[in-house]
Amino acid sequence: MARQISYQQAINEALRQEMERDPTVLVMGEDNAGGEGSPGERDAWGGVLGVTKGLYPQFPDRVLDTPISESGFIGAAIGAAAAGMRPVAELMFVDFMGVCFDQIFNQAAKFKYMFGGKAQTPVVIRTMVGAGLRAAGQHSQMLVNVFTHIPGLKVVCPATPYDAKGLLIQSIRDNDPVIFCEHKMLYGMQGDVPEESYAIPFGEANVVRDGKDVTIVTFGRMVHLCGEAAAELAKAGIQCEVIDLRTTSPLDEDTVLESVGKTGRVVVVDESNPRCSIAADISSLVAQKAFGDLKAPIEMVTAPHTPVPFADSLEDLYIPSPAKIQAAVQRIASYR
Amino acid sequence: MSDIHAVTVPKWGLSMDKGTVAVWHRQPGDRVHKGEDLLDVESDKIANVVECPADGILRRHVAAIGDVLPVGALLGVIADADVPDAKIDALVAEFQANFKPIEAAAGGGPQPELIQVAGKRVRYLALGEGADALLLIHGFGGDLNNWLFNQEPLAQGRTVYAIDLPGHGESDKRLETGGLDEYAACVKGFMDAVGLRAAHLVGHSMGAAVALRIAVDAPARVRSLTLVCPAGLGAEINIDYLRGFAAANSRNQLKPLLVQLFADQGLVNRQLIDDVLKYKRLEGVTEALNRTIAAQFEDGRQRTLLRDVVGVVPAQVIWGAEDRIIPPQQAEGLPAAVPVHRLAGAGHMTHMEAATEVNRLIASFIADIA
């Protein structure tokens, strides 16, 4: 039986294996090397949730601690990438990305284009996304769509430990800036992960369940909630095809359109706010390119257009649930 | 209760702990015969037929289509017509009252192991105990899981090893040449490492050519050869399949190739394709496969033919009549003493598609030699 490790361990293993393979790979972020020198074993905290723990003792000169200044160290990582390194910067919560938009949008994303292809920026920015951890409005957002909007960035959001390892390895080897979105509710999830190194290509969606009646397009943590909904719907005789986009930029349009061509009915599930979201983007794609295949209106299941609430009961209502996904599927499954 | 037979969820491979009833081929009241297709069960990995364990009347469907049941759970009951319904009810009640699912293999049952052979990692799985030793050798692009329908059934009273060849499965991906001699040296090294002086070799496709190579180089180590859809007997091979497999890096590229391996293309489900894709993404695999192709084929034809050893070492050939990778005609013209079994309705993966028959042929061939 294959070895099982957690999503968090899979990310750690990808970093370790790439650092072993390529001496230009370095890790930097708040508390990545912090805690070193404390009593006890010689190790650092490995970031706020310990994702990079264990790397510091093995690579003491390539695990860098940074001040609490995202605009500073993200800029440093981008500069190091332009100068030939492959930095993996940890920016604790995607919500804090706002203070370094210039570095990301105007610099990293533009270098290759504005310097006529003569510069490349192989930087990875790892960051936590998503709601569910009772961390309120400034630590819970799902901003995958914001980065997907910017040409020149690649945006990755793995749903499983297997994908987390393979997509992070691909991200590090990619010559463009990558925003690597780790869902904080998935860190403890266990799954089969090969010990050997492997890379999953970008722009290749994963069909996690076959079905002929309704297509569900989603990514990140929602893949699992959609899987739960699909299992319940199967008992009611509705066969859902569940597509995990894996990367929102580049986007695997073919897999989505092929599935909609088969089912004629589509629900897009995205835990972001609905306006200008991946859900809206996929809906427009289907409406433009598969209108003739559609047998029912496109459904979107998203968070409401509000900040993520702090009250537990409200946060639970905010996040798309399997029940809401089931209801959306049922609405269009019976649409004539 | 010799006249009542319980049909239970089979165990296909180590990781299977439950199965889903996909379809019943026979209905309650039907007269059924041992070996007939009774129903289809799906595991996480694969779908396959459950065969009828005995002659009689199918008296009950205990499990319905869509039911997900643990390995060993009751699916149905077969009995003669004169067995009263009450007795069938009693058997079902008793079975269900006493049934306890086997603990999931995690930590418990046998697991694949790793061993060093000439400085390289080889993964293998050993099942069963007994004086007779069998060694199962998979083909190009395969791994030890290809034998999931064979290894456990064959391990009754025997020790059965299945290995991942170098460049395959979870064994080391580095290959020096990719030639048959390198693969054969690794298998011999593996036999040394586990203390196996001689064994019955069962090889599929390229694995059969590897077995032939060992029989040529070290006949004393080969008690018999069972060659399943073998390479090494003729020049012709579906080189487009091999090159396509080595080059494919997405599901859409793999599927049209993998369906060529089976007579029943429905067996190529998403999980099977995903598993192959996961193997193909591992570092070093593409290079290992390309080396193997370069070393073993020239102008799209097999370089090394090893027909002469067939029959010098006791050998049998089993070939799916619908093999689209290597033509079954290559079994013609072998020495008369070599049994050749052409299995209808099976493609290149004959040991998966006609597992019960292949297992029976291997067991009886080995028994005759012993």
Among candidate residues A178, A163, A159, A179, the one with its CA nearest the CA of residue A270: A159
Neighbours of A123 (CB within 10 A): 27
Q: In Å, how far from its chain's centre is CA A230?
A: 22
Higher pLDDT, B163 or B80: B163
Does residue A42 surpass a pLDDT of 90? no
Percent of chain B at pLDDT above 70? 97
Tell which phi-psi region holds residue A4, choosing left (phi > 0), alpha (psi between -120 and 50) or beta.
beta
Among candidate residues B281, B292, B277, B276, the one with its CA nearest the CA of residue B349: B276
- Indicate which residue of A139, A149, A224, A305 is catalytic: A139
User: Across the interface, which of A2, A196, A235 has its CB nearest the CB of B283?
Assistant: A196
A139 annotated active-site: yes
Q: What are the Cα distances from residue A188, in Å, to A14, A159, A243, A271?
A: 16, 12, 22, 19
Q: Which of chain B's residues have a Cβ under 8 Å away from the Cβ of A196? A: 170, 173, 282-284
- What is d(CA A141, CA A144) in angstroms, rounded to the nearest whole number? 9
**Cα distance from B14 to chain A (closest Cα, Å)?**
7
Among candidate residues A39, A105, A97, A109, the one with its CA nearest the CA of residue A73: A97
If one looks up domain B113-369 in CATH, what number appears?
3.40.50.1820
Interface membership of B116 toward A (CB under 8 Å): no
Q: What are the Cα distances from residue B362, in Å, to A255, A286, B150, B227?
A: 43, 54, 10, 10
Give the DSSP letter of residue B287.
H
Q: Is A305 exposed, middle or buried (0-12, 13-18, 19+ CB in 10 A)?
A: exposed
The domains of chain A, with CATH numbers, are 4-192 (3.40.50.970), 206-333 (3.40.50.920)
Which residue out of A198, A243, A255 would a mutagenesis test of the B interface target, given it has the greatest number of B Cβ atoms within 10 Å? A198
3-state DSSP assignment of residue A194: coil
Q: Which of chain A's residues have a Cβ under 8 Å away from the Cβ of B105? A: 1
Q: Which of chain A's residues have a Cβ under 8 Å away from the Cβ of B14? A: 1
Pairing of strands B159-163, B133-137: parallel
Global pTM exceeds 0.95: no
Q: What are the Cα distances from residue B170, in Å, to A70, B77, B86, B164, B245?
A: 41, 40, 52, 7, 18
Interface membership of B286 toward A (CB under 8 Å): no
What's the confidence (pLDDT) of residue A318?
Answer: 97
What's the confidence (pLDDT) of residue A217?
Answer: 98
Please name the residue ranges forming H helices in chain B: 85-98, 151-154, 180-193, 206-217, 239-247, 251-258, 270-281, 285-296, 350-353, 355-369
Does residue A45 surpass a pLDDT of 80? no
- The reply to whether residue B278 touches residue A194, judged by beta carbons under 8 angstroms, is yes
Pairing of strands B120-127, B159-163: antiparallel
What's the confidence (pLDDT) of residue B308?
Answer: 93
- The reply to whether residue B173 touches residue A198, judged by beta carbons under 8 angstroms, is no
Query: Token match 């499954």: residue?
Result: A333
Q: Which of chain B's residues have a Cβ under 8 Å away from the Cβ of A198? A: 278, 281-283
Q: Is B165 exposed, middle or buried (0-12, 13-18, 19+ CB in 10 A)?
A: buried
State the pLDDT confidence band at B162, using cuts at 50, 70 and 90. Answer: very high
Q: What is the DSSP string of A120-149?
A: ----EEEEEE-S-SS--TTS----HHHHHT
Pairing of strands A154-156, A178-183: parallel
Tell which phi-psi region holds residue B317, choosing left (phi > 0), alpha (psi between -120 and 50) or beta.
beta
Which CATH architecture fits B4-98? Beta Barrel (2.40)
What's the confidence (pLDDT) of residue B1?
Answer: 43
Does residue B105 surpass a pLDDT of 50? no
Give the contacts of B57 (CB within 8 A, at least 6 positions apart): B29, B30, B31, B32, B78, B79, B80, B81
What is the side-by-side strand order in the sheet with B74-79?
A: B4-8, B74-79, B56-61, B31-32
- What is d(CA B305, CA B316) in angstroms, rounded to the nearest whole number? 17
Q: Is B97 exposed, middle or buried (0-12, 13-18, 19+ CB in 10 A)?
A: exposed
- The reply to whether residue B282 touches residue A201, judged by beta carbons under 8 angstroms, is no
3-state DSSP assignment of residue A264: coil
Interface membership of A194 toward B (CB under 8 Å): yes
Does residue B136 surpass a pLDDT of 60? yes
User: Across the interface, which of B15, B281, B284 has its CB nearest the CB of A200?
Assistant: B281
Q: Which of chain A's residues have a Cβ under 8 Å away from the Cβ of B270? A: 207, 210
- What is d(CA B20, CA B30) in angstroms, rounded to the nearest whole number? 22
**Cα distance from A255 to chain B (closest Cα, Å)?**
10
- The reply to whether residue B251 touches residue A207, judged by beta carbons under 8 angstroms, is yes
Does residue A234 surpass a pLDDT of 90? yes
What's the confidence (pLDDT) of residue A279?
Answer: 98
3-state DSSP assignment of residue A34: coil
Neighbours of A31 (CB within 10 A): 20
Strand partners of residue A111:
none
Asked if residues B24 and B38 have their Cβ atoms less than 8 Å apart, the reply is yes
Please give the ipTM for the structure prediction.
0.88
Residue type, A186: L
What's the confidence (pLDDT) of residue B133?
Answer: 95
Q: What is the mean pLDDT of chain A?
A: 95
- The reply to whether residue A201 touches residue B249, judged by beta carbons under 8 angstroms, is yes
- What is d(CA B354, CA B345) in angstroms, rounded to the nearest whole number? 8
Among candidate residues B260, B241, B275, the one with its CA nearest the CA of residue B145: B275
Pairing of strands B340-343, A154-156: unpaired
Neighbours of B354 (CB within 10 A): 24
Query: Token match 């390119």: residue?
Result: A289
What's the confidence (pLDDT) of residue A35?
Answer: 66
Tokens of B338: 């070599």
- What is d(CA B268, CA B18) in angstroms, rounded to the nearest whole number? 20
- The reply to whether residue A197 touches residue B283, judged by beta carbons under 8 angstroms, is yes
Among candidate residues B334, B309, B354, B100, the one with its CA nearest the CA of residue B214: B309
Kindly state the average pLDDT of the residues A176-195. 97
**Cα distance from B321 to chain A (closest Cα, Å)?**
31
Interface membership of B177 toward A (CB under 8 Å): no
Q: Which residue in chain B has the smallest CA separation from A1?
A: B15
Tell me the domain boundaries of chain B.
4-98, 113-369
Query: Token match 């708040």: residue?
Result: A30
- What is d(CA A239, CA A241) in angstroms, rounded to the nearest whole number? 7
Which of A213-222, B7-16, B261-270 bottoms out in mean pLDDT, i.e. has the lowest?
B7-16
- The reply to whether residue A1 touches residue B170, judged by beta carbons under 8 angstroms, is no
Q: What is the DSSP string of B80-127?
A: -TTS-HHHHHHHHHHHHHH--PPPPSTTSS---EEEEETTEEEEEEEE
Handedness of CA B163, B169, B175, B178 (dihedral sign): positive
Kindly state the average pLDDT of the residues B212-241. 97
Percent of chain A at pLDDT above 90? 90
From start to end of chain A, where are the E strands?
4-6, 25-29, 63-65, 86-93, 124-129, 154-156, 178-183, 190-192, 206-209, 214-218, 240-244, 247-249, 266-269, 299-301
Kindly state the average pLDDT of the residues A28-35. 82
